[in-house]
Each structure stands twice: as structure tokens, then as C-alpha cells.
Amino acid sequence: MNTTQVGRQAEQAAVQWLLQNGYQIIDQNWQTRWCEIDIITKKANVIFFVEVRYRRNDAWGDGIDSITPRKLQQMQFAAELWLTQAKWSHDASLCAMAVAGQPPVVSAFIEL
């Protein structure tokens, strides 16, 4: 299985977890020429921008550990762009989801 296929499986595991926990999926793999967002979801009138990070195992830390200040800045930029385009005026939050193993399983979901 190649990296793209594993990435898709990890994102699908993340989507299933979100749906099972009461989130509504707004979009997946939203992108512009400047940025991308893995999953945009909504729950209780709050939009959540979810960065999915997959690791085969957690020997070097989970996927959330790999989010650098630069990646956080990119996530903020993408979220602000989406909010502006969607004319969303309610609450929003940046989140990260760690997915690990084969088959992929969600191991953590946090607001940043």
C-alpha cells in the first residue's frame, strides 16, 4: 500500500470518528493554491478545522507532536481564508487528530 492510500485510510478513520462523535462533515481536502485543510467539520454551531496526522506507530511520538509552529501558522491562515470565503461569523477552532496503526485508528483529538 502506498503513502497516498494510507493517508486516505487515515483520513477516512478520522471522518468516521468525527461522525460517530456527533460532528457533521462540511468538507474534506479543501484547498486553494495557497493552503489546504484536511477536514472541516461542525458541531453545536462551531466550525472545526481538523489537521489529520498519521503515524505507523508512536515510537517517535504521535502525529500531533509533529505540528510545528510554522504548520500551526499555515493552519490558521487556511482557516481564516475559509471563514472569510464562507462568511462564517460564529465560533471556529483549530484541531489536530492523531491516527496510528494499520488499520488506522484515531488515538487523539485535541483543540489547538
Query: What are the cell numbers at 13?
Result: 478513520
> Among 98, 89, 96, 107, which Cα is nearest to 47's?
89
pTM: 0.91
Query: Over the chain, what is the mean pLDDT?
Result: 91
At 59 the pLDDT is: 66
At 29-79, the pLDDT tens digits run 999 999 999 999 999 999 999 999 988 866 666 788 889 999 999 999 999
Torsion sign (Cα): 37, 107, 7, 69: positive
Domains detected in the chain: 3-111 (3.40.1350.10)
Q: 1 pLDDT band (50/70/90 cuts)?
A: low
> Cell 487523539 belongs to which residue?
108
Which positions ≥6 away from 3 have C-beta within 8 Å?
none
